[in-house]
Amino acid sequence: MTHKMISWLVATLFAVPLSANAGAGTFDMERWYGILDSVRTRAASENISDAMITSTLRSPAFIPSIVKSDKNQSEFKLTLDGYLARTVNQTRITQGQKMRHKYPTMLARVENKYGVPPHVILAFWGMESNYGDVRSRHKLTDAFLTLMYDGRRETFFGNQLISLMKIADKNKLDINSIYGSWAGAMGHFQFIPTTLAQYGVDGNGDGRIDIINNVSDAMHSAGNYLNKLGWDQGQRIVRRVALPADFDLGLLDGKTKKSLPEWAAMGITNPDGSPIPQSDMVAGIVADVTDVERARSIAKSVDAMDSDIAPMPVVTAYLTYPNFYRIKRWNNSNWYAIAIANLADELH
Protein backbone atom coordinates (compact mmCIF):
# COMPACT_ATOMS: atom_id res chain seq x y z
CA MET A 1 0.00 0.00 0.00
CA THR A 2 1.37 3.44 -0.90
CA HIS A 3 1.76 6.27 1.57
CA LYS A 4 -0.99 8.15 -0.23
CA MET A 5 -3.38 5.24 0.19
CA ILE A 6 -2.44 4.94 3.88
CA SER A 7 -3.19 8.65 4.35
CA TRP A 8 -6.59 8.16 2.75
CA LEU A 9 -7.30 5.15 4.96
CA VAL A 10 -6.42 6.93 8.20
CA ALA A 11 -8.35 10.07 7.27
CA THR A 12 -11.40 8.20 5.99
CA LEU A 13 -11.76 5.66 8.78
CA PHE A 14 -10.93 7.82 11.77
CA ALA A 15 -11.33 11.44 10.66
CA VAL A 16 -7.93 12.25 12.15
CA PRO A 17 -6.63 15.64 10.93
CA LEU A 18 -3.50 14.99 8.89
CA SER A 19 -0.39 17.10 8.98
CA ALA A 20 3.19 16.72 7.84
CA ASN A 21 4.25 17.90 11.28
CA ALA A 22 3.00 16.78 14.65
CA GLY A 23 0.99 19.33 16.54
CA ALA A 24 -1.93 19.74 18.90
CA GLY A 25 -4.90 17.93 17.45
CA THR A 26 -3.07 16.75 14.35
CA PHE A 27 -1.91 13.39 13.09
CA ASP A 28 1.73 13.31 12.03
CA MET A 29 1.75 11.32 8.80
CA GLU A 30 5.53 11.51 8.48
CA ARG A 31 5.91 9.86 11.86
CA TRP A 32 3.35 7.21 10.86
CA TYR A 33 5.26 6.51 7.64
CA GLY A 34 8.47 6.30 9.65
CA ILE A 35 6.94 3.73 12.00
CA LEU A 36 5.78 1.57 9.08
CA ASP A 37 9.14 1.83 7.34
CA SER A 38 11.03 0.94 10.50
CA VAL A 39 8.86 -2.14 10.99
CA ARG A 40 9.44 -3.19 7.38
CA THR A 41 13.21 -2.75 7.65
CA ARG A 42 13.55 -4.48 11.00
CA ALA A 43 11.31 -7.38 10.01
CA ALA A 44 13.35 -8.01 6.88
CA SER A 45 16.60 -7.88 8.87
CA GLU A 46 15.21 -10.51 11.28
CA ASN A 47 14.30 -12.89 8.47
CA ILE A 48 10.54 -12.50 8.64
CA SER A 49 9.10 -13.56 5.30
CA ASP A 50 8.20 -11.01 2.65
CA ALA A 51 4.68 -12.41 2.62
CA MET A 52 4.28 -11.79 6.36
CA ILE A 53 5.68 -8.25 6.10
CA THR A 54 3.32 -7.48 3.24
CA SER A 55 0.36 -8.96 5.11
CA THR A 56 1.15 -7.04 8.30
CA LEU A 57 1.50 -3.69 6.55
CA ARG A 58 -1.15 -4.16 3.88
CA SER A 59 -3.79 -1.94 5.49
CA PRO A 60 -2.49 -0.53 8.76
CA ALA A 61 -4.90 1.56 10.80
CA PHE A 62 -4.39 4.04 13.59
CA ILE A 63 -6.92 3.53 16.43
CA PRO A 64 -7.46 6.70 18.50
CA SER A 65 -9.38 4.84 21.23
CA ILE A 66 -6.27 2.77 21.99
CA VAL A 67 -4.21 5.89 22.64
CA LYS A 68 -7.01 7.15 24.89
CA SER A 69 -6.98 3.86 26.81
CA ASP A 70 -3.21 4.03 27.22
CA LYS A 71 -3.28 7.60 28.51
CA ASN A 72 -6.24 7.16 30.84
CA GLN A 73 -5.55 3.95 32.71
CA SER A 74 -7.56 4.39 35.89
CA GLU A 75 -5.94 4.00 39.25
CA PHE A 76 -6.87 0.92 41.24
CA LYS A 77 -9.56 2.04 43.68
CA LEU A 78 -11.29 -1.14 44.85
CA THR A 79 -10.63 -2.43 48.34
CA LEU A 80 -9.23 -5.95 48.56
CA ASP A 81 -12.62 -7.28 49.67
CA GLY A 82 -14.31 -5.47 46.79
CA TYR A 83 -11.80 -6.83 44.30
CA LEU A 84 -12.23 -10.39 45.57
CA ALA A 85 -16.02 -10.07 45.46
CA ARG A 86 -15.77 -9.04 41.81
CA THR A 87 -13.19 -11.61 40.70
CA VAL A 88 -13.88 -14.69 42.84
CA ASN A 89 -17.64 -14.78 42.48
CA GLN A 90 -19.96 -17.77 42.39
CA THR A 91 -20.51 -17.50 38.63
CA ARG A 92 -16.78 -17.81 37.96
CA ILE A 93 -16.42 -20.63 40.47
CA THR A 94 -19.31 -22.58 38.93
CA GLN A 95 -17.97 -22.09 35.41
CA GLY A 96 -14.52 -23.24 36.53
CA GLN A 97 -16.02 -26.40 37.97
CA LYS A 98 -17.74 -27.05 34.64
CA MET A 99 -14.45 -26.60 32.80
CA ARG A 100 -12.75 -29.04 35.12
CA HIS A 101 -15.32 -31.68 34.15
CA LYS A 102 -15.05 -30.72 30.47
CA TYR A 103 -11.26 -31.01 30.21
CA PRO A 104 -10.13 -33.59 32.81
CA THR A 105 -7.69 -35.41 30.52
CA MET A 106 -6.10 -32.22 29.20
CA LEU A 107 -5.69 -30.77 32.68
CA ALA A 108 -4.15 -34.04 33.88
CA ARG A 109 -1.64 -34.00 31.01
CA VAL A 110 -0.62 -30.45 31.88
CA GLU A 111 -0.17 -31.41 35.54
CA ASN A 112 1.86 -34.50 34.69
CA LYS A 113 4.15 -32.60 32.35
CA TYR A 114 4.57 -29.29 34.15
CA GLY A 115 3.67 -29.94 37.78
CA VAL A 116 0.89 -27.35 37.86
CA PRO A 117 -2.39 -28.79 39.23
CA PRO A 118 -5.76 -28.33 37.47
CA HIS A 119 -7.24 -25.92 40.01
CA VAL A 120 -4.32 -23.52 39.50
CA ILE A 121 -4.54 -23.64 35.69
CA LEU A 122 -8.29 -23.09 35.95
CA ALA A 123 -7.83 -20.13 38.29
CA PHE A 124 -5.54 -18.36 35.83
CA TRP A 125 -7.88 -19.20 32.95
CA GLY A 126 -10.86 -17.82 34.84
CA MET A 127 -9.09 -14.64 35.87
CA GLU A 128 -7.54 -13.91 32.49
CA SER A 129 -10.41 -14.56 30.08
CA ASN A 130 -13.32 -15.96 32.07
CA TYR A 131 -12.51 -19.37 30.55
CA GLY A 132 -12.31 -18.01 27.03
CA ASP A 133 -15.57 -16.06 27.14
CA VAL A 134 -13.88 -12.65 26.92
CA ARG A 135 -13.73 -11.66 23.27
CA SER A 136 -10.89 -9.36 22.28
CA ARG A 137 -11.82 -6.65 19.81
CA HIS A 138 -8.55 -5.10 18.64
CA LYS A 139 -6.52 -6.36 15.70
CA LEU A 140 -3.11 -6.64 17.32
CA THR A 141 -1.09 -5.31 14.40
CA ASP A 142 -3.12 -2.09 14.53
CA ALA A 143 -2.87 -1.93 18.32
CA PHE A 144 0.92 -2.22 18.28
CA LEU A 145 1.39 0.24 15.41
CA THR A 146 -0.88 2.73 17.18
CA LEU A 147 1.00 2.42 20.46
CA MET A 148 4.34 2.71 18.66
CA TYR A 149 3.14 5.94 17.07
CA ASP A 150 1.95 7.20 20.46
CA GLY A 151 5.56 6.88 21.56
CA ARG A 152 5.27 6.34 25.30
CA ARG A 153 6.69 2.81 25.01
CA GLU A 154 7.61 2.65 21.35
CA THR A 155 10.47 0.16 21.79
CA PHE A 156 8.40 -2.20 23.91
CA PHE A 157 5.46 -2.30 21.50
CA GLY A 158 7.78 -2.50 18.53
CA ASN A 159 9.29 -5.63 20.06
CA GLN A 160 5.80 -7.03 20.56
CA LEU A 161 4.85 -6.48 16.93
CA ILE A 162 8.03 -8.08 15.59
CA SER A 163 7.52 -11.02 17.95
CA LEU A 164 3.92 -11.39 16.77
CA MET A 165 5.07 -11.39 13.13
CA LYS A 166 7.60 -14.14 13.87
CA ILE A 167 4.98 -16.22 15.69
CA ALA A 168 2.48 -15.86 12.85
CA ASP A 169 5.19 -16.66 10.29
CA LYS A 170 6.42 -19.76 12.12
CA ASN A 171 2.97 -21.14 12.88
CA LYS A 172 1.35 -20.20 9.55
CA LEU A 173 -1.24 -17.97 11.18
CA ASP A 174 -3.15 -15.14 9.51
CA ILE A 175 -1.71 -12.20 11.40
CA ASN A 176 -4.66 -10.00 10.44
CA SER A 177 -7.04 -12.36 12.24
CA ILE A 178 -5.16 -12.18 15.55
CA TYR A 179 -7.10 -10.04 18.00
CA GLY A 180 -6.36 -9.12 21.59
CA SER A 181 -6.60 -6.41 24.21
CA TRP A 182 -5.71 -2.81 23.44
CA ALA A 183 -2.36 -3.39 25.18
CA GLY A 184 -1.56 -6.52 23.16
CA ALA A 185 -2.52 -9.47 25.38
CA MET A 186 -4.17 -12.37 23.58
CA GLY A 187 -5.75 -15.75 23.96
CA HIS A 188 -7.22 -17.75 26.81
CA PHE A 189 -4.42 -16.75 29.19
CA GLN A 190 -3.73 -13.27 27.79
CA PHE A 191 -0.08 -13.68 26.79
CA ILE A 192 1.74 -10.84 25.10
CA PRO A 193 3.73 -11.95 22.03
CA THR A 194 7.18 -11.97 23.68
CA THR A 195 5.84 -14.16 26.50
CA LEU A 196 4.20 -16.47 23.97
CA ALA A 197 7.44 -16.68 21.98
CA GLN A 198 9.32 -17.77 25.10
CA TYR A 199 6.79 -20.12 26.70
CA GLY A 200 4.32 -21.14 23.99
CA VAL A 201 3.74 -24.89 23.58
CA ASP A 202 2.08 -27.00 20.88
CA GLY A 203 -0.28 -28.85 23.18
CA ASN A 204 -2.17 -30.95 20.64
CA GLY A 205 0.77 -31.91 18.42
CA ASP A 206 -0.47 -30.33 15.20
CA GLY A 207 2.82 -28.52 14.62
CA ARG A 208 1.41 -25.07 15.43
CA ILE A 209 1.04 -22.94 18.53
CA ASP A 210 -2.31 -21.17 18.62
CA ILE A 211 -3.29 -19.97 22.10
CA ILE A 212 -6.35 -18.12 20.82
CA ASN A 213 -8.28 -20.90 19.09
CA ASN A 214 -6.75 -24.00 20.67
CA VAL A 215 -7.45 -24.67 24.36
CA SER A 216 -4.80 -27.41 24.53
CA ASP A 217 -2.07 -25.08 23.26
CA ALA A 218 -3.26 -22.39 25.69
CA MET A 219 -3.30 -24.69 28.74
CA HIS A 220 0.06 -26.26 27.97
CA SER A 221 1.59 -22.84 27.40
CA ALA A 222 0.25 -21.61 30.76
CA GLY A 223 1.56 -24.72 32.49
CA ASN A 224 4.96 -24.31 30.86
CA TYR A 225 5.13 -20.65 31.88
CA LEU A 226 4.28 -21.39 35.53
CA ASN A 227 6.72 -24.30 35.54
CA LYS A 228 9.51 -22.07 34.27
CA LEU A 229 8.62 -19.54 36.98
CA GLY A 230 9.36 -22.31 39.48
CA TRP A 231 5.85 -23.37 40.52
CA ASP A 232 5.90 -25.70 43.54
CA GLN A 233 2.78 -27.88 43.58
CA GLY A 234 3.55 -28.97 47.13
CA GLN A 235 3.11 -25.47 48.53
CA ARG A 236 0.04 -23.35 49.02
CA ILE A 237 -0.05 -19.77 47.72
CA VAL A 238 -1.29 -17.77 50.71
CA ARG A 239 -2.67 -18.34 54.20
CA ARG A 240 -5.41 -16.11 55.53
CA VAL A 241 -4.56 -14.81 58.98
CA ALA A 242 -5.61 -12.20 61.55
CA LEU A 243 -3.52 -9.24 62.75
CA PRO A 244 -3.03 -8.10 66.34
CA ALA A 245 -4.18 -4.59 67.19
CA ASP A 246 -0.67 -3.16 67.41
CA PHE A 247 0.70 -4.74 64.23
CA ASP A 248 3.23 -2.60 62.34
CA LEU A 249 1.60 -1.54 59.07
CA GLY A 250 5.03 -1.10 57.53
CA LEU A 251 5.38 -4.88 57.43
CA LEU A 252 2.32 -5.30 55.18
CA ASP A 253 4.31 -4.79 51.99
CA GLY A 254 4.88 -8.43 51.08
CA LYS A 255 8.60 -7.76 50.93
CA THR A 256 9.52 -8.38 54.55
CA LYS A 257 10.06 -12.14 54.91
CA LYS A 258 9.99 -14.05 58.19
CA SER A 259 9.55 -17.66 59.25
CA LEU A 260 6.12 -18.73 60.43
CA PRO A 261 7.28 -18.98 64.08
CA GLU A 262 8.56 -15.40 63.85
CA TRP A 263 5.19 -14.17 62.52
CA ALA A 264 3.42 -16.12 65.26
CA ALA A 265 5.60 -14.46 67.89
CA MET A 266 4.38 -11.09 66.59
CA GLY A 267 0.77 -12.05 67.25
CA ILE A 268 -0.29 -13.41 63.85
CA THR A 269 -2.99 -16.10 64.22
CA ASN A 270 -5.49 -17.96 62.08
CA PRO A 271 -8.72 -15.94 61.64
CA ASP A 272 -10.39 -18.00 64.41
CA GLY A 273 -7.57 -17.16 66.82
CA SER A 274 -5.87 -20.54 66.68
CA PRO A 275 -2.08 -20.70 66.17
CA ILE A 276 -0.65 -20.70 62.64
CA PRO A 277 1.59 -23.65 61.67
CA GLN A 278 5.07 -23.63 63.17
CA SER A 279 7.03 -24.92 60.17
CA ASP A 280 10.21 -23.26 58.94
CA MET A 281 8.41 -21.88 55.86
CA VAL A 282 9.32 -18.28 55.11
CA ALA A 283 6.54 -15.90 54.11
CA GLY A 284 5.75 -12.25 53.59
CA ILE A 285 2.48 -10.67 54.62
CA VAL A 286 0.06 -8.37 52.79
CA ALA A 287 -3.27 -6.76 53.65
CA ASP A 288 -5.44 -3.87 52.62
CA VAL A 289 -3.79 -1.13 54.68
CA THR A 290 -6.84 1.10 54.22
CA ASP A 291 -9.01 -1.54 55.88
CA VAL A 292 -6.55 -1.87 58.75
CA GLU A 293 -6.47 1.87 59.32
CA ARG A 294 -10.28 2.05 59.13
CA ALA A 295 -10.58 -0.74 61.70
CA ARG A 296 -8.21 1.07 64.03
CA SER A 297 -10.17 4.28 63.65
CA ILE A 298 -13.43 2.49 64.48
CA ALA A 299 -11.78 0.75 67.42
CA LYS A 300 -10.59 4.07 68.85
CA SER A 301 -14.07 5.57 68.52
CA VAL A 302 -15.71 2.58 70.18
CA ASP A 303 -13.06 2.45 72.90
CA ALA A 304 -13.66 6.12 73.71
CA MET A 305 -17.34 5.35 74.29
CA ASP A 306 -16.95 2.08 76.16
CA SER A 307 -13.61 0.77 77.31
CA ASP A 308 -15.09 -2.68 77.95
CA ILE A 309 -15.66 -3.28 74.22
CA ALA A 310 -12.86 -5.09 72.36
CA PRO A 311 -10.62 -2.37 70.91
CA MET A 312 -9.75 -3.98 67.56
CA PRO A 313 -11.97 -5.80 65.08
CA VAL A 314 -10.40 -8.82 63.38
CA VAL A 315 -8.53 -7.62 60.30
CA THR A 316 -7.73 -10.13 57.59
CA ALA A 317 -4.27 -10.37 56.11
CA TYR A 318 -2.46 -12.99 54.04
CA LEU A 319 0.81 -14.75 54.63
CA THR A 320 2.40 -14.97 51.19
CA TYR A 321 4.45 -18.04 50.24
CA PRO A 322 6.89 -18.46 47.32
CA ASN A 323 4.15 -19.37 44.81
CA PHE A 324 2.55 -15.99 45.54
CA TYR A 325 5.65 -14.25 44.23
CA ARG A 326 5.72 -16.51 41.17
CA ILE A 327 2.20 -15.33 40.37
CA LYS A 328 3.41 -11.74 40.68
CA ARG A 329 5.91 -12.39 37.92
CA TRP A 330 2.88 -13.19 35.75
CA ASN A 331 0.97 -10.13 36.96
CA ASN A 332 2.68 -7.80 39.43
CA SER A 333 -0.33 -7.20 41.67
CA ASN A 334 -0.84 -8.38 45.24
CA TRP A 335 -4.61 -8.34 44.77
CA TYR A 336 -4.38 -10.42 41.57
CA ALA A 337 -2.19 -13.03 43.27
CA ILE A 338 -4.57 -13.29 46.23
CA ALA A 339 -7.52 -13.63 43.85
CA ILE A 340 -5.75 -16.46 42.00
CA ALA A 341 -5.12 -18.17 45.35
CA ASN A 342 -8.73 -17.80 46.47
CA LEU A 343 -10.18 -18.95 43.15
CA ALA A 344 -7.79 -21.91 43.04
CA ASP A 345 -8.88 -22.92 46.55
CA GLU A 346 -12.53 -22.78 45.47
CA LEU A 347 -11.77 -25.00 42.46
CA HIS A 348 -9.58 -27.51 44.32
More confident residue, 293 or 287: 287
As a whole number, mean pLDDT of residues 70-76 equals: 65
Query: What are 117-132's pLDDT values in tens digits?
Result: 999 999 999 999 999 9
Q: Give the number of other Cβ atoms within 10 Å of residue 259's Cβ.
A: 14
pLDDT of residue 20: 33
Measure the CA–CA gap between 15 and 150, rounded to whole angstroms. 17
pLDDT band at 141 (very low <50, low <70, confident <90, very high): very high
Minimal CA–CA distance to 122: which of 149, 98, 148?
98
Tell me what pLDDT residue 19 has.
Answer: 34
Percent of the chain with pLDDT over 90: 72
pLDDT at 108 over 90: yes
**What is the secondary structure of 83-114 as a DSSP string?**
HHHHHS-HHHHHHHHHHHHHSHHHHHHHHHHH
Q: Which residues in 9-166 belong to E strands, given as ranges?
A: 18-19, 27-28, 138-139
Per-residue pLDDT of 230-274, as tens digits, reads 999 999 999 999 998 888 888 998 999 999 999 999 999 999 999
Candidate from 174-178, 231-235, 294-298, 321-325 with smallest mean pLDDT: 294-298
Q: Determine the 3-state secondary structure of 301 from DSSP.
A: helix
pLDDT score of 168 more than 90: yes
In the prediction, which pLDDT does 16 show? 46
314 versus 35: which is more confidently predicted? 35
Question: Could you give the count of Cα atoms lying within 13 Å of 287 in the half-sphere of its Cβ?
Answer: 27
Neighbours of 205 (CB within 10 A): 8
Q: Is the pLDDT of residue 8 over 60?
A: no
Mean pLDDT of 64-84: 79
Sheet bearing 282-286, strands edge to edge: 238-242, 316-320, 282-286, 258-259
Q: Is the pLDDT of residue 215 over 80?
A: yes
Amino acid at 146: T
- Nearest by Cα to 146 from 194, 196, 182: 182
Quick: pLDDT tens for 30-67: 999 999 999 999 999 999 999 999 999 999 999 998 98
Q: What is the pTM of this model?
A: 0.86
